Amino acid sequence: MTETMSSPNADPDETMRLAVERFRTKMKSSYRKFLQDRVNEIEPMGLFTEKEKLEEISFYWSELGREGSSSWNDHVPPEPVRQEREARAVTRLRDVPDVFHQYQDGIVNSMLITEEWREMCLDVVETVCNEAAIRDEEFKDFHIPRIVELGYFLKYAQAVELPNFCGYGICPFEPVGYTGVATYAFPDHPTVLAIPKPDISTSREHLKERMQASIISEDLIIGTVDEDLEVLVGFDTGIGYRQDHQEWCSSYLYCRSDDESETDFQDWAWRIVVFHADGENPTPLYGRKPRFNSIPEFLDWYSTWLDYVDMDEVRDILWNPWGGHDYPLPSDEE
pLDDT tens, position by position, 172-191: 999 999 999 999 999 999 99
Look at residues 302, 267, 304 and name the one whose alpha carbon lies nearest to residue 6: 267
pLDDT, position 5? 60
Query: Mean pLDDT across the stretch 68-87?
Result: 91
- Contact present, 160 and 108 (Cβ < 8 Å): yes
Position 34 pLDDT exceeds 50: yes
Residue 134 or residue 314, greater confidence: 314
Residue 326: band (very low, low, confident or very high) from pLDDT cuts 50, 70, 90: very low
In tens, the pLDDT along 128-144 reads 999 999 888 888 889 99
Enclosing H/E stretch for 257: strand 245-257
Query: Mean pLDDT across the stretch 67-77?
Result: 85
pLDDT, position 7? 63
The DSSP bridge pattern shows strands 269-276 and 291-292 to be antiparallel
Position 325 pLDDT exceeds 50: no
- Contact present, 156 and 14 (Cβ < 8 Å): no
Q: Which long-range contacts (CB under 8 A, 24 or more apart) does 75-78 make?
A: 75/182, 75/184, 75/191, 75/192, 75/195, 76/184, 76/185, 76/186, 77/182, 77/183, 77/184, 77/185, 78/183, 78/184, 78/185
pLDDT, position 328? 46
pLDDT, position 4? 60
Task: Identify the weakest region by mean pLDDT among 90-99, 200-209, 244-253, 274-283.
Answer: 274-283
Q: What is the CA radius of gyration of the chain?
A: 21
Task: Identify the weakest region by mean pLDDT among 54-58, 70-74, 123-127, 282-286.
Answer: 70-74
pLDDT, position 8? 62
Residue 9 or residue 241, greater confidence: 241
The DSSP bridge pattern shows strands 159-160 and 107-108 to be antiparallel
pLDDT, position 58? 95
**What is the percent of the chain with per-residue pLDDT over 70, rounded to a whole number?**
92
Query: Mean pLDDT across the stretch 276-302?
Result: 95
Query: Mean pLDDT across the stretch 70-87?
Result: 92
Position 199 pLDDT exceeds 50: yes
Query: Mean pLDDT across the stretch 267-288?
Result: 93
Residue 231's DSSP bridge partners are 255
Cα separation of 4 and 62, whole Å? 39
Position 150 pLDDT exceeds 90: yes
pLDDT, position 259? 73
Query: Mean pLDDT across the stretch 219-247?
Result: 92
Task: Map out the domains of the chain as residue ranges.
Answer: 15-319
Cα separation of 289 and 331, whole Å? 9
Position 39 pLDDT exceeds 50: yes
Look at residues 289, 296, 227 and name the one whose alpha carbon lies nearest to residue 257: 227
Query: Mean pLDDT across the stretch 310-320?
Result: 91
Position 264 pLDDT exceeds 90: no
How high is the mean pLDDT of the chain? 91
Query: Mean pLDDT across the stretch 305-316?
Result: 96
**What is the percent of the chain with per-residue pLDDT over 90, rounded to a whole number?**
76
Query: Mean pLDDT across the stretch 52-80?
Result: 91
- Contact present, 42 and 56 (Cβ < 8 Å): yes
Task: Identify the weakest region by mean pLDDT among 79-83, 223-227, 249-253.
Answer: 223-227
101: region left, alpha or beta (phi > 0 left; psi from -120 to 50 alpha): beta
Position 1 pLDDT exceeds 70: no
